[in-house]
């Protein structure tokens, strides 16, 4: 929603936007460790020209005005206010998704960074989800191509920076699809977590494995499932091996799988519109062989991923926002309550997460300039290790972000792939291969 009145009694100059339902949980949770920043990057076949990228970025920001904002505190809720500043391309550091003060006036909730052949965008989850961030990056990439190579004849599914904005792009689709009489999902208890101590503030270990799409697809097809089924099963299996090595846990290994709700409900929103479903291994029942884990994942995801069941998740997401008591609680008090629920309760229910953005497609003229895409999940001091997946061309990139020194989960993940006949090229930001 875009207008120019006051927000919760606070005078606002310029345009402002209400936070979507998911953003209202992310904004209070912001801290030096919970940065809420996730990252999408594209690696080109030749070095990036920074000035041309800056020109392309300025074109893009005009097309996505709802990202040209900073976070402001109202009396009852935060809101986004138009940011008059200019977003600048920044050098890419060794530790991504860290050291960003998002609550400061004038501070954007996204960053654009580059190094050598890589262009990266880092978005706060308070601003959008992977769907919105990927659309932005693809527009930025194509605009950069035009700055360096000339006009693209057909932008295909990529948003043109001079195209007209769809009014539904700023919609809070959670509220539109919310059904008040739908039941809330069954609550679950806490999950097992890795016991290792956190790294110092500002450090984020990244490990990426590049695997051939055909090999992963063949392994999934052999078992009657999808690439997402297969990689989720490998991740669950790797977490089980780590848990068994560290001691038999009394709580389940539970993996959250984010779901793009636009695949189930009509929405063109460029803000958050996702939910999570879960897959659980209770190791008190004994060791699960990989094929058992795969079938469990296969059937669990098909049970969860349907429109009716996802409406229960929408009910859980929206009901607290609609709570008449919570709505009138001042933001300063609400901040502490929401941050506690998000960090200790919501994150405490899962061991880790795996997010798959699928395969990226680009206009033919641009496609040949790109080597690969990369996707990095936001840092989480509670789950400590999370995974993100993205495909481009004939390769899939599987990236782990962790806030601990121990690399046990990644080791078991790539070892399991190798035992299943899939070899990964692994690279890291901390000096190891």
DSSP string, 390-403: EEETTEEEEEEEES
β-pairing verdict for 395-402 and 385-392:
antiparallel
Longest CA–CA separation in the chain, Å: 61
Q: Any idea which of 186-195, 319-328, 364-373 has the lowest mean pLDDT?
A: 319-328
Question: 5 falls in which pLDDT band (50, 70, 90)?
Answer: very low
The three-point CA angle 69-383-281 to 5° equals 130
The pLDDT of 101-109, averaged and rounded, is 88
- Residue 397 · residue 389 · CB < 8 Å: yes
**CA 235 to CA 246: how far, in whole Å?**
17
Picking from 260, 238, 254, the residue whose alpha carbon sits closest to that of residue 358 is: 260
pLDDT computed for residue 74 by the predictor: 86
- Say whether pLDDT at 29 is over 50: yes
* pLDDT higher than 60, residue 206: yes
The residues, any chain, with a CB within 8 Å of residue 99's CB and separated by 6 or more, are: 32, 35, 93, 202
- Tokens 């790294």, located at residue: 199
| Beta carbons within 8 Å of 41's beta carbon, 6+ residues apart | 118, 119, 120, 121, 137, 373, 374, 375, 376
Residue 24, number of CB atoms within 10 A of its CB: 22
Strands 253-260 and 352-360: parallel
Helix axes 307-322, 290-304, angle to 10 degrees: 70
- Structural domains of the chain sorted by starting position, each given as residue range(s) with its CATH number in brackets: 2-152+171-176 (3.30.559.10), 187-428 (3.30.559.30)
Alpha-carbon gap, residue 35 to 100, rounded angstroms: 7
| b/e code 333-358 from CB counts within 10 Å (16+ = b) | ebbeebbebbbeebbbbbbbbbbbbe
Output 431 or 243, whichever has higher pLDDT. Answer: 243
Give the pLDDT score at 318: 85
Question: pLDDT tens digits for 168-189?
Answer: 999 999 999 988 888 888 888 8
Distances from the Cα of 338 to the Cαs of 76, 181, 288, 320, 361, in angstroms? 13, 24, 36, 10, 38
83, pLDDT greater than 90: yes
What's the mean pLDDT when you consider all of the chain?
91
Rounded to 5 degrees, what angle do the CA atoms 278, 280, 284 make? 165
* 16, two tokens: 């402002």
Query: 385-392 and 352-360: which strand pairing?
Result: parallel
CB 12 within 8 A of CB 5: yes
DSSP 8-state secondary structure symbol assigned to residue 283: G
CA–CA distance, 4 with 88 (Å, rounded to integer)? 26
Nearest to 370 by CA among 360, 380, 379: 360
The reported pLDDT for the residue numbered 59 is 97
pLDDT(12) > 50: no
Task: Tell me the Cα Rg of the chain.
Answer: 21
Give the integer Cα–Cα distance in Å for 172 and 17. Answer: 10
Tell me the three state secondary structure of residue 46.
Answer: coil
In whole angstroms, what is the distance from residue 353 CA to residue 192 CA?
A: 13
pLDDT, tens digit, 9 for 90 and up, residues 317-362: 787 777 766 777 788 887 888 877 777 777 889 999 999 999 999 9
pTM of the predicted model as reported, rounded to 2 decimal places: 0.93
pLDDT tens digits, residue range 247-276?
878 999 999 999 999 999 999 999 999 999
């Amino acid at each position: 929603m875009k207008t120019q009145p006051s927000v919760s009694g606070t005078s606002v100059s310029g345009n402002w936007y209400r936070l979507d339902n998911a953003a209202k949980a992310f904004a209070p949770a912001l801290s030096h460790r919970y940065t809420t920043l996730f990252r999408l990057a594209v690696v080109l076949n030749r070095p990036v020209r920074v000035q041309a990228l800056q020109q392309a970025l300025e074109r893009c920001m005009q097309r996505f005005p709802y990202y040209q904002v900073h976070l402001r505190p109202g009396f009852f809720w935060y809101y986004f206010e138009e940011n008059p500043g200019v977003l600048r391309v920044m050098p890419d550091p060794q530790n991504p998704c860290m050291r960003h003060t998002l609550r400061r006036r004038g501070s954007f909730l996204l960053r654009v960074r580059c190094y050598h052949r890589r262009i990266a965008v880092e978005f706060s989850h308070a601003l959008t989800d992977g769907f919105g961030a990927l659309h932005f990056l693809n527009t930025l990439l194509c605009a950069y191509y035009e700055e360096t190579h000339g006009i693209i004849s057909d932008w295909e599914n990529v948003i043109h920076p001079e195209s007209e904005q769809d009014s539904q792009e700023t919609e809070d689709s959670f509220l539109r699809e919310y059904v008040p009489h739908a039941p809330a999902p069954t609550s679950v208890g806490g999950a097992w977590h890795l016991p290792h101590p956190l790294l110092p503030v500002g450090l984020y270990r990244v490990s990426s494995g590049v695997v051939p799409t055909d090999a992963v697809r063949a392994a999934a097809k052999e078992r009657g499932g999808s690439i997402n089924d297969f990689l989720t099963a490998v991740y669950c299996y790797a977490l089980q091996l780590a848990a068994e090595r560290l001691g038999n846990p009394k709580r389940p290994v539970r993996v959250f799988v984010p779901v793009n709700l636009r695949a189930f409900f009509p929405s063109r929103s460029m803000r958050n519109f996702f939910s999570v479903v879960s897959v659980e291994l209770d190791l008190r029942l004994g060791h699960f062989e990989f094929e058992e884990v795969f079938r469990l994942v296969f059937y669990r995801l098909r049970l969860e991923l349907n429109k009716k069941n996802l409406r229960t998740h929408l009910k859980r997401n929206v009901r607290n926002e609609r709570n008449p008591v919570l709505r009138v609680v001042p933001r300063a008090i609400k901040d502490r309550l929401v941050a506690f629920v998000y960090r200790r309760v919501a994150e405490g229910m899962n061991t880790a997460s795996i997010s798959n953005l699928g395969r990226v497609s680009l206009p033919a003229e641009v496609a040949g300039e790109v080597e690969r895409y990369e996707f990095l999940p936001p840092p989480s001091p509670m789950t400590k290790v999370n995974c993100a997946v993205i495909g481009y061309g004939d390769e899939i990139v599987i990236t782990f972000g962790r806030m601990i020194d121990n690399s046990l989960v990644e080791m078991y993940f790539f070892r399991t792939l190798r035992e299943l006949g899939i070899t990964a090229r692994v690279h890291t930001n901390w000096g190891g291969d």
